[in-house]
Amino acid sequence: MLAEFAPRPATGRIVTATRRVGLGDTRPDGRVRLDALARFFQDVADEDAVSAAVGAGAWVLRRLTVRVHRTPRFRANVTLSTWCSGSGPRWAERRTDMVVDDEMAVEAVALWVHVDPGRGVPTRLPREFASVWGTTAGGRRVSARLVHDAPPTHARREPWPLRAADLDVLGHVNNAAYFAPVEEELARRGAPRVGWAQIEFRSGIEPAEPVELRVADRDGGFALWLTVHEDVRASALVGSARPGGTSA
């Protein structure tokens, strides 16, 4: 399994939000895109962060894993519930469930690194962390180690142009925008149903940098890398069935 999906706790801080799948969130067949799912997940994470009484700091996404039980479709009303499911010295894990019509649709587990907002370097969790999120974390320790392989020499290569729409309020390529090349590759392959996906971030991409996309087949799916001058900035794995599970 690419990630452990800790179960929803019985007590502690759980933040809930609702969204509606709109025109800008779907593929031509009406199924929600991965970049839209990523936006939903980061928005409810931000809701949790900004509504908590925690000191100054910033959170940078290190890894996001999703497994899709039922793909939400156009005009679906989704309910997202998120909670802290573990931590390390300078990072924390977040679990999010997306429910449609009282049925589990998508589960996500994300690793967020706590950074100094001025210097951008990892820093220890805020002193209020335990009192706010400690109950749901339950003392569970998680690793921030990245696990994706480097791109093989036979990987297909092509330039990937950045767009102004990819940038967010920080002036960086937004987390969700990294799923745009994944969606492009899915369309190229006939839009297969996605059962699981995982993305890892090594460092950000700046607006003027020359980005190259690399893609290689993997069992049941493909791997994708975004590089700048041979340096891997982000990578993704995508499959039509969950590892060790069934087709979505």
Per-residue pLDDT of 134-148, as tens digits, reads 999 999 999 999 999
Q: Tens of pLDDT along 18-36?
A: 999 999 999 999 999 999 9
User: Do residues 48 and 119 make contact, with C-beta atoms less than 8 angstroms apart?
Assistant: no
CATH topology of 15-137 equal to that of 156-239?
Answer: yes
Q: Which CATH class is domain 15-137?
A: alpha beta
**Nearest in space to 37 (alpha carbons), one of 101, 107, 95, 94:** 107
For the segment 5-17, what is each residue's pLDDT rounded down to a tens digit? 999 999 999 999 9
Number of other residues whose CB lies within 10 A of the CB of residue 46? 13
Q: List the domain boundaries for the chain.
A: 15-137, 156-239
Provide CATH code, domain 156-239: 3.10.129.10
Provide the token pair at 74: 């156009």
Say what the pTM is.
Answer: 0.94
**Pairwise CA distance, residues 23 & 69, whole Å:** 22
Average pLDDT over residues 147-166: 96
86-143 pLDDT per residue, tens: 999 999 999 999 999 999 999 999 999 999 888 879 999 998 999 999 999 999 999 9
CB 99 within 8 A of CB 79: yes
